[in-house]
Amino acid sequence: MEEILPEWQQQIKDSIRSLDALLSVFPEIQIHEGMREAERKFPMSLTPYYASLIRRPDFSDPVFAQCVPQQAELLSPKWLSEDPLAERSCSPTPRLIHRYPDRVLIIATSACAAYCRHCTRKRVSSQCDAAISDEELEACVAYLKTHPEVDDVLVSGGDPLMLTDNRLTTILSSIRRIESVKVIRIASRVLVTLPMRITPGLVDILRANAPVFVNTHFNHPVELTPTAIAAANRLTDAGIPVANQTVLLRKINDSAEIIEKLCRQLFHNRIRPYYLFQCDLVQGIEHLRTPLSTGIDIMRQLRGRLSGMAIPNFAVDTPGAGGKVELLPESIIGQTATGTLLLNSRGEKVLYPDPEIK
């Protein structure tokens, strides 16, 4: 007899993992060789739930465009790299990134419920679905014990909520036992791509390790379905604050109207808009990047229309471990023919290249 899986695990099992599998769901789509080449370079995956949000099976659809490989991913301008934020250089022990004095990020797994085409860690998601081992976790805990200045641990990935409840319990309780760690943040996109993962059992695990924040990643209003909202409510009702980090994506959400609608609906549902991120300089996502001026223009328009409670911080993670820079009109100190000059929090000038495609 076949085992009956929980709904979220069934969704993962039934995920669409190739263009051919996508074709059997949407027989009308046209698949070109360029898409196949992009798929070989950067694998695809999406849950049946996320696929059900596709209204038009072509790249004009915001969900389709976020998870289906396209030829433009093969573009490779010289400023793009596999590890633009130099995360490897800030990693004192495998899976732990320590870039800011008081916060660290732990890559708990490389698996995700959907592989976003714009992912900063495309290099991680294209490897196997490896989860953090016991030895690696112990090494992270040992590092944190000798760094009591770190009071905030971001459990990230991939998507940590792809791990089983048992594994999450082990990871979160090991971090929680470190006295100097006050806050645990979980970066997860399951509210968007696999909301049925937010089971009562998972909510209990998160609550048992409070204070835990969940930071999620809605990019477009169509993703805020009743199912996703109900899952977010299960978290907030249990005292787990939910915030959102949107990535600004060319032709997907790069207008003030879309971002305003998204932020307003997030706010109505107690999901605090936290960041609006400029797309990182990662190989395979050049076609999704906007010039910095697009985000600045959007922010200007939001200021007059939305409460400060619903306005995210527009930020860019600067190349070469320069860290995040909040993009206020005044953080832009110049424009060259190829890019924009920014001032980071250490007072250093950083050149941020504009996209090749205008």
Ligand X SMILES: *Cc1c(COP(=O)(O)O)cnc(C)c1O
Q: Which residues are catalytic?
A: 99-100, 103, 112, 116, 119, 121, 280, 317, 324
3-state secondary structure string across the chain:
CCCCCCHHHHHHHCCECCHHHHHHHCCCCCCCHHHHHHHHHCCCCECHHHHCCCCCCCCCCHHHHHHCCCHHHHCCCCCCECCCCCHHHHCCECCEEEEECCEEEEECECCCCCCCCCCCCHHHHCCCCCECCHHHHHHHHHHHHCCCCCCEEEEECCCHHHCCHHHHHHHHHHHHCCCCCCEEEEECCHHHHCHHHCCHHHHHHHHHCCCEEEEECCCCHHHCCHHHHHHHHHHHHCCCCEEEEEECCCCCCCCHHHHHHHHHHHHHCCEEEEEEECCCCECCCHHHCCCHHHHHHHHHHHHHHCCHHHCCEEEEEECCCCEEEECCHHHEEEECCCEEEEECCCCCEEEEECCCCC
Q: How many residues bind ligand X (CB under 6 A)?
A: 7
Establish if 112 lies at the interface with ligand SF4 (CB under 6 A): yes
Closest CA to 127 of 91, 90, 83, 170: 83
Of 68 and 154, CB closest to ligand X: 154
Of 97 and 327, CB closest to ligand X: 97
Of 115 and 213, CB closest to ligand SF4: 115
Of 73 and 159, CB closest to ligand SF4: 159
Q: Which residues from 72-131 bind ligand X, rule CB under 6 A?
A: 97, 99-100, 103, 105
* 99 interface partner picked from ligand X, ligand SF4, none, CB below 5 to 8 A per type: ligand X
Only one of the segments 48-56, 111-119, 200-208, 251-259 lies at the binding site for ligand SF4 (rule: CB under 6 A); that segment is 111-119
Q: Provide the minimum distance between the beta carbon of 99 and ligand X in the complex, in angstroms, as a whole number.
A: 4
Q: How many residues bind ligand SF4 (CB under 6 A)?
A: 11
Interface residue with ligand X, options 65, 154, 163, 310 (CB under 6 A): 154
Establish if 121 lies at the interface with ligand SF4 (CB under 6 A): yes
d(CA 107, CA 87): 11
* 67 interface partner picked from ligand X, ligand SF4, none, CB below 5 to 8 A per type: none
Q: Provide the minimum distance between the beta carbon of 66 and ligand SF4 in the complex, in angstroms, as a whole number.
A: 8
Only one of the segments 96-104, 113-121, 178-186, 289-297 lies at the binding site for ligand SF4 (rule: CB under 6 A); that segment is 113-121
Q: How many CB atoms lie within 10 A of CB 74?
A: 17
Q: Which residues from 151-190 bind ligand SF4, rule CB under 6 A?
A: 157-159, 189
Q: Pattern 299-338, binding to ligand SF4, x per CB under 6 A? A: ----------------------------------------
d(CA 278, CA 290): 8
Of 103 and 261, CB closest to ligand X: 103
Of 40 and 346, CB closest to ligand SF4: 40
d(CA 345, CA 324): 8
Six-digit token string for 148: 């009591």
**Cβ-proximal residues to 146 (8 Å cutoff; 6+ apart), any chain:** none
Interface residue with ligand SF4, options 119, 202, 276, 310 (CB under 6 A): 119
Q: Which residues from 189-208 bind ligand SF4, rule CB under 6 A?
A: 189
Of 147 and 189, CB closest to ligand SF4: 189
Interface residue with ligand SF4, options 50, 115, 218, 314 (CB under 6 A): 115
**Interface residues with ligand SF4 (CB under 6 A)?**
112, 115-116, 119, 121, 125, 157-159, 189, 217
Chain residues in the site for ligand X (CB under 6 A): 97, 99-100, 103, 105, 154, 324
